[in-house]
Amino acid sequence: MAPVLTSPVVSTQWLADHLGADDLTIVDATVLVDLGLDGDTDHASVAYATGRDGFEHDGHVPGAVLADLVAEFSDPDSGLPFTRPGAARFQAAVAALGVSNDSTVVVYDTVDGRWASRLWWLFRAYGHDAVAVLDGGWSQWLAQGKPYDLGDVLPTPAPFVATERPDHWVDKAFVESVVAGDERAALVSGSPRDEFDGTSSPLTRAGHIPGSVNVPAETLLADDGTLARDPVLRDRLAVVPDEPRTVVYCASGVSASVDALAFAVLGRPDVAVYDGSLAEWVADPAAPLVPAAA
């Protein structure tokens, strides 16, 4: 019988106690980001890679499998980074990891939790609620002296059927309707403060969507990389207005997933992610953006 989850996050001790349990799949969702500068445009250039090298040579949680968020868990035809895959693509990628609809899934990464949060959100958006993020991720696993393995892991495929939940996502048209006042929703940016303010940006235009409030993903974490606890978490999210819907976004919909995780921990799993996020928004010259103050 698969372990039962009582929260969207699990501790390192919980996972250590359940290693080897039937129908438990542990997934490393690490993505490595290489920032550079495009010599032709002077804009930032970004390259992404999976964490396979670290998974094999630096270690991973025993029994874990590696998810490829760059290719398998994204839509290769969208033209935007990390756009969610369609249901059929997600279903195939999950099945290849050995996850069935009866599995309990724990995801982690070796960075700051945003990639694990993104995969956690994808699972939920495609109908799989038995999924949690390892609190503090790989760094806390090592800090607590937990065991690890080296080398590659070849999962045994399992049957998985994805059931799409459209309310977990919004598109650009919906956000435009919120900005225009035709729909009511709280817009929450999970981007760093300087990106929200428009003083820095990895994109071609800097700033934030009009009407947004800023809850940077990193402010939702404690110093040790674990998710902040209530009441700190609740205090961080207190700036979010009370509206019928809450929509989180960032540059590409990844850091925003940390905000979505925080809401879920506080009993608000009904938040939606604007999947295209600013990468899609700023590509439209007509889309309004609040720039840096003069």
pTM over 0.85: yes
Question: Residue 189's beta-bridge partner residues?
Answer: 214, 249
Give the C-alpha separation, 112 to 269, whole Å.
Answer: 21
What tokens appear for 75 in the block?
Answer: 């839509």
The number of angstroms, rounded, from the C-alpha of 208 to the middle of its chain's C-alpha atoms is 19
Find the helix or strand (DSSP H, E) in which 234 lies: helix 232-236
Q: What are 223-282's pLDDT values in tens digits?
A: 999 999 999 999 999 999 999 999 999 999 999 999 999 999 999 988 999 999 999 999
Question: Length of the chain in residues, anyone?
Answer: 294
Residue with tokens 């939940």: 165
Report residue 45's pLDDT band, with 50, 70 and 90 as the boundaries.
low
Domain ranges, ordered by start, for the chain: 9-164, 167-281
What share of the chain in percent tops pLDDT 70? 96
CB 209 within 8 A of CB 172: no
Residue with tokens 């996050």: 9
Task: Name the packing angle between helices 256-265 and 114-125 (round to 10°).
Answer: 70
- 9-164 and 167-281 in the same fold: yes
Give the C-alpha separation, 199 to 193, whole Å.
Answer: 9
Backbone φ, ψ for residue 242 (5° rounding): -85, 105
Active site residues: 250
Give the C-alpha separation, 266 to 46, whole Å.
Answer: 33
Phi-psi region of 196 (alpha: psi -120 to 50; beta: other; left: phi over 0): alpha
Q: What are 139-161's pLDDT values in tens digits?
A: 999 999 999 999 999 999 999 99
CATH number for 9-164: choose from 3.30.1330.80, 3.40.250.10, 3.40.50.2300, 1.20.1440.230.
3.40.250.10
Find the helix or strand (DSSP H, E) in which 215 lies: none
Q: Which CATH architecture has domain 167-281?
A: 3-Layer(aba) Sandwich (3.40)
Rounded (5°) CA angle 150-109-199:
140
Alpha helices in 101-212 (DSSP H): 114-125, 137-143, 172-179, 193-197
